[in-house]
Chains A and B, each alone.
Chain A
């Protein structure tokens, strides 16, 4: 019996070593590409797990971009997408990226959607010299490794706090507001936005007269609103997500606060109007990376193609990924090589996409304008682009 057990153990060890030995690592150095070559691209997404809705939307955006590229006769290469599911887990994401880069030999990786999963792939990208383009890693300093950026990591979204700057500028310059109160959520998102907003607003010459905070999932904001109501502010900045912001707006308006309300992309949801009430969403502005208001021809074409392909309207995530994939493909055509040359082509890219035109700054984040949309009776009516750096 025991002898049999030993045999089973020994054979399973052998089986294991054979199984893990099925493949060998491929070279990751810069390779020259010829016209008509098949090039693999890695799609590393949260296809299952808690944040699968982001991952699925981004996967569709990327797939559409690749499909359109392959259908285009002018394209130099044939693109083959290799997808991996990282389950929304940082360590799964590391191994998914490693597999794409070493086993499949992809030219570049688009994804993952969330910041944590993205950051987990950047050291692997540098090690293997394969660029990673993150469509939506908005966390502050996501692409930074200490003082310098990860060489092969890029993102095409602005970071959370960048919007705070943009909204401060929009409030002070475009709307001419001078006195602000801030209500923020106690989270990285809320605190980051508050810090940057305050800094920029005061630099410009405005004054932040009060800052109050709340916890996620709070529902009664009467105390906070009473405190800030009589401060004489002409603008209220809410640094949080739609679920609480909607209730704050409703309760503030009902308490008679009729000042301008500003917010960031946490407002982006149909639920905002449901929670706040349509009649309360006037004189209200928020920043976003994507809106179909005043859509360009390219954007309209994208929305149509996407709707036709998947039977649902695209969102911010699919549009950002569509841009990220196209950016990578353009750089690939320009460089004609993978590895270090492709990295350089991406870093130097001047890209015009659905979510704006941009170049990369020294942190490998895009220098692009933030879109500020105006809500009238809860409906987006107008989009203004604001560049906080100018």
Chain B
């Protein structure tokens, strides 16, 4: 099969993203999606980035991480502090880059020792790491302590957010289909077997973990510039669990399902916003139900793939 960038499947993906972008933009411009619902929409897109990046670590590579909120926190504060000094796009870009550098360093420090081991050590280490980040942020001068940063200019625009989400999905999907990605999949399936096949398991686990951390910090930066205020208590263990729920809810290992789960949870939150007392109960029940009746998540590992669709059609017509 020829490897062309402009094949039918890629074109279909491009078309899908352009169409959804145009439709959503028009809906917002016309006012059919009011400002309240556009906040929800922004939130959904930030959650998509978070869910997809965590899915890379958990679903593709099979490593359990409980510290996603920590990386998000690093990204949010780097961007928040930078844009408060330079309230424009340049400030945001510099903030995002600083966030990238910091979260890469931290991710390496956390992952290199723990990912040399087999088992759930990463979960424990990342759990501790996220708490360390939060407590550091809570006690530093530059982050304004427990009160958090406020008066952050709103720089997250819909086009920016959309492009970032698409890039994140692209990065994760292409990584999964690349040689290192295949190595990660084999580690997920059987670590000993893949080691026996000559795969440097630590290396590939670390690569996946660092990519996940980078994307989480990007999501954090977009989050900070969307909500005016960031506080250390927004990045607790609960936030990590929220993201984890999205990944598990949709299905581990499937990017389509992460996206759909982020959308679904965003909508559920809006619909149940007026029933605050019972919201958490319904939320919990839904999760318990999914775990009992479909433990692999709604979609399991199924993916929406235009390539397979077109191939199937070709087969039929042939």
Residues of A within 8 A of B (CB): 2-3, 5-6, 9, 12-13, 16-17, 19-21, 23-25, 47-48, 84-85, 87, 89-91, 94-96, 98-99, 102-103, 115-116, 119-120, 122-124, 128, 139, 145-146, 187-188
Q: Are A2 and B227 in contact (CB under 8 A)?
A: no
Is B312 in contact with chain A by the CB < 8 A criterion? yes
* B305 in contact (CB, < 8 A): yes
A-B contact pairs, 30 of them (CB 8 A): A2-B309, A5-B302, A6-B304, A6-B309, A12-B263, A19-B267, A20-B37, A20-B41, A21-B32, A23-B34, A24-B32, A25-B34, A47-B276, A85-B273, A85-B279, A90-B148, A90-B229, A90-B231, A91-B43, A91-B223, A91-B226, A98-B35, A99-B36, A115-B147, A116-B150, A116-B233, A119-B228, A123-B151, A145-B151, A187-B145
Interface centre among B151, B234, B260, B267 (most CB of A within 10 A): B151
Q: B276 touching A48 by the CB < 8 A rule?
A: yes
A20 to B280, CA, bound (A): 22
Contacts of A145 in B (CB 8 A): 151
- Residues of chain A with a CB closer than 8 A to B27's CB: 17, 20-21
Does B10 have its Cβ within 8 Å of any Cβ on chain A? no
CA distance A5 to B209 in the complex (A): 30
Say if the beta carbon of B20 comes within 8 Å of chain A.
yes
Whether B147 lies near A94 (C-beta < 8 A) is: no
Compute how far the CA of A12 lies from the CA of B233 in the bound complex, rounded to whole angstroms: 34
Distance between B214 CB and nearest chain A CB, rounded to angstroms? 22
Q: Using A48-B276, A98-B39 as known contacts, list a sample of 12 further A-B pairs with CB atoms less than 8 Å apart, ordered by residue number in A.
A: A2-B305, A9-B256, A21-B33, A23-B37, A47-B276, A91-B226, A94-B39, A115-B147, A119-B228, A120-B229, A123-B228, A139-B147
Q: Is B182 part of the contact surface with A, judged by Cβ < 8 Å?
A: no
A17 to B146, CA, bound (A): 38
The interface residues of chain B lying within 8 Å CB-to-CB of A99 are: 36, 273
The 7 closest A-B pairs by CB, nearest first: A85-B276, A25-B34, A99-B36, A120-B229, A21-B32, A91-B227, A95-B39
Residue of B nearest to A145 (CB): B151
For residue B309, which residues in chain A have a CB less than 8 angstroms away from its CB? 2-3, 6
A115: chain B residues at CB < 8 Å are 147
Contacts of A122 in B (CB 8 A): 228
B277 at the binding interface (Cβ < 8 Å): yes
Q: Give the CA-CA distance A62 to B13 in the complex, in Å.
A: 51
Q: Which residue of chain B has the shortest Cβ distance to A90 in the bound complex? A: B229
CA distance A216 to B20 in the complex (A): 50
Residues of the B chain whose Cβ atoms lie less than 8 Å from the Cβ of A5: 302, 304
How far apart are the CA atoms of A5 and B280 in the complex, in Å? 30
CA A6 to CA B41, docked complex, whole Å: 22
B interface size (C-beta, 8 A): 46
- Kindly state the separation between the CA atoms of A80 and B49 in the bound complex, as whole angstroms: 39
Contact check, A20 vs B40: say whether CB atoms are below 8 A apart.
Answer: yes
A47-B275 Cα distance, complex, nearest whole Å: 11
B154: CB under 8 A from chain A? Answer: yes
- Complex Cα distance, B140 from A125, in Å, reads 30
Are A16 and B263 in contact, with the CB atoms below 8 A?
A: yes
B residues at A contact (CB < 8 Å): 20, 23-24, 27, 31-37, 39-41, 43, 145-148, 150-151, 154, 223, 226-231, 233-234, 256, 260, 263, 267, 273, 276-277, 279-280, 302, 304-305, 308-309, 312
- Residues of chain A with a CB closer than 8 A to B24's CB: 17
Residues of A within 8 A of B279 (CB): 48, 85
Task: Give Cα A87–Cα B236 distance, bound, in whole angstroms.
Answer: 14
Known pairs A2-B312, A5-B304, A17-B23; A120 contacts B228 (CB<8 A):
yes
- Closest Cβ–Cβ distance, residue B140 to chain A (whole Å): 12
CA of A128 to CA of B36, assembled, Å = 12
Interface of B is mostly: helix
A142 nearest in chain B by CB position: B150
B277 and A48 contacting across the interface, CB-CB below 8 Å: yes
- Within the assembled complex, what's the spacing in Å between the Cα atoms of A146 and B230? 16
Instruction: Report chain B residues within 8 Å CB of A124.
Output: 228
Contact A116–B147 (Cβ < 8 Å): yes
Whether the Cβ atoms of B227 and A120 lie closer than 8 Å is: yes
Contact with B147, one of A20, A128, A188 (Cβ below 8 angstroms): A188
CA distance A303 to B59 in the complex (A): 57
Interchain CA distance A19-B227 in the complex, whole Å:
23
Determine the residue in chain A with the shortest Cβ distance to B46.
A91
- The interface residues of chain B lying within 8 Å CB-to-CB of A98 are 35-36, 39
Q: A116, B43: Cβ atoms under 8 Å?
A: no
Q: What is the bound-complex CA distance between A321 and B39, given in angstroms? A: 27
Cβ distance B172 to chain A, nearest Cβ, rounded Å: 18
- Which single residue of chain A is at the shortest CB-CB distance from B42? A95
Q: Which residues of B contact A139 (CB under 8 A)?
A: 147
B150–A95 contact, CB under 8 A?
no
CB neighbours (8 Å) of B229 from chain A are 90-91, 94, 116, 119-120
Chain B neighbourhood of A17, CB < 8 A: 23-24, 27
Per the bound structure, the CA–CA distance linking A366 and B267 in Å amounts to 40
Q: Are B273 and A84 in contact (CB under 8 A)?
A: yes
Least CB separation from A13: chain B residue: B20
* Given A17-B23, A98-B39, A103-B34, A119 and B305 contact (CB-CB distance below 8 Å): no
Closest to B312 in A: A2
Tell me if B146 and A188 are in contact (CB < 8 A). Answer: yes
In angstroms, Cα B150 to Cα A96, docked, is 18
For B35, the chain A residues whose CB sits under 8 A away are 25, 98, 102, 128
Residues of the A chain whose Cβ atoms lie less than 8 Å from the Cβ of B267: 16, 19
CB neighbours (8 Å) of B233 from chain A are 116
Whether B39 pairs with A89 at a CB distance below 8 angstroms is no
- The residues of B that contact A20 with a CB separation of less than 8 Å are 27, 32-33, 37, 40-41
Q: Looking across the interface, which residue of chain B has its beta carbon closest to that of A116? A: B231
A119 to B37, CA, bound (A): 21
User: Does A91 lie within 8 Å of B234, measured CB to CB?
Assistant: yes
Q: Looking across the interface, which residue of chain A has its beta carbon closest to that of B227?
A: A91
Q: Across the interface, which residues of B come within 8 angstroms of A188, CB to CB?
A: 145-147
Minimum distance in angstroms from A264 CB to a CB of chain B: 17
Within the complex, the shortest CB–CB distance from B230 to chain A, in Å, comes to 7
